[in-house]
């Protein structure tokens, strides 16, 4: 089955995190749900399509999990954060190996200002090999920055750009950093 990637920008009060979704296209409505989450700006229509997919499509665990994940992204974009989180939780319950859902749940926790928990979820998702690693690494860097781990955050944003040089938000975040070079004085003889 083909796998597709979805990147959604999420603006927080002072920082941005990303959500990612991977979807297997095994059912007609499930595929439509993916397309709605990825391409459509009519979020209510997208939510209807995803609801229909979950109610009417006969799906295996993988497709059902990714459809919950897609619906979670749409709900997130609608600022229905608790409902989005519940969908990511359902996706994880069906597929505990779906790294993307953990990364998405981490983005939710960043939004809820629960940064330690967010970092834990994102790192767990990274360990499960998410479909778009630069998004996961970016989210980890955001969480680290919000936890005050400035050096690690800086290194994380740089890693994102090494993985994907066109990742604009990582470039933007790096502009907020000032790198000070320490000069060392050679020891006196």
The answer to whether 39 touches 74, Cβ cutoff 8 Å, is no
- Report the alpha-carbon distance of residue 6 to residue 36 in Å, rounded: 11
Average pLDDT value for residue range 99-108:
96
- Render pLDDT for 143-177 as a digit per residue (tens, 0 to 9): 999 999 999 999 999 999 999 999 999 999 999 98
**Could you say which of 3.30.70.1230, 3.30.230.70, 1.25.40.10, 3.30.420.40 is the CATH number of the domain covering 3-131?**
1.25.40.10
Alpha helices (runs of H) in the chain, residue ranges in sequence order: 28-39, 43-56, 61-77, 81-94, 99-111, 115-127, 133-146, 150-163, 168-174
Residue linked to tokens 């409505």: 29
Q: At what angle are helices 61-77 and 81-94 packed, to 10 degrees?
A: 170
Question: pLDDT > 90: what percent of the chain?
Answer: 67
Question: pLDDT > 70: what percent of the chain?
Answer: 85
| Domain boundaries defined on the chain | 3-131
The answer to whether 144 touches 123, Cβ cutoff 8 Å, is no
pLDDT at 3 over 50: no
pLDDT of residue 1: 30
Q: Which comes out higher in pLDDT, residue 81 or 7?
A: 81
pLDDT at 8 over 90: no
pLDDT of residue 62: 92
- Report the alpha-carbon distance of residue 105 to residue 115 in Å, rounded: 12
- Render pLDDT for 33-59 as a digit per residue (tens, 0 to 9): 988 888 878 999 999 999 999 998 888
């Amino acid at each position: 089955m083909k796998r597709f990637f979805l990147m959604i920008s999420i603006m927080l009060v002072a920082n941005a995190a990303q959500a990612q979704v991977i979807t297997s296209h095994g059912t007609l409505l499930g595929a439509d749900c993916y397309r709605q989450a990825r391409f459509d700006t009519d979020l209510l229509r997208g939510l209807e399509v995803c609801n229909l997919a979950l109610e009417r499509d006969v799906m295996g665990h993988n497709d059902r999990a990714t459809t919950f994940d897609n619906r979670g992204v749409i709900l997130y974009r609608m600022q229905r954060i608790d409902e989005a989180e519940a969908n990511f939780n359902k996706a994880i319950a069906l597929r505990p190996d779906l790294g993307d859902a953990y990364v998405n749940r981490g983005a939710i926790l960043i939004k809820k200002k629960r940064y330690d928990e967010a970092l834990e979820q994102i790192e767990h998702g990274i360990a499960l090999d998410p479909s778009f690693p630069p998004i996961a690494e970016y989210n980890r860097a955001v969480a680290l920055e919000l936890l005050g781990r400035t050096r690690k955050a800086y290194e994380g944003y740089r890693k994102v750009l090494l993985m994907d040089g066109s990742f604009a938000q990582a470039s933007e975040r790096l502009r907020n950093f000032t790198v000070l070079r320490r000069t060392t004085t050679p020891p006196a003889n």
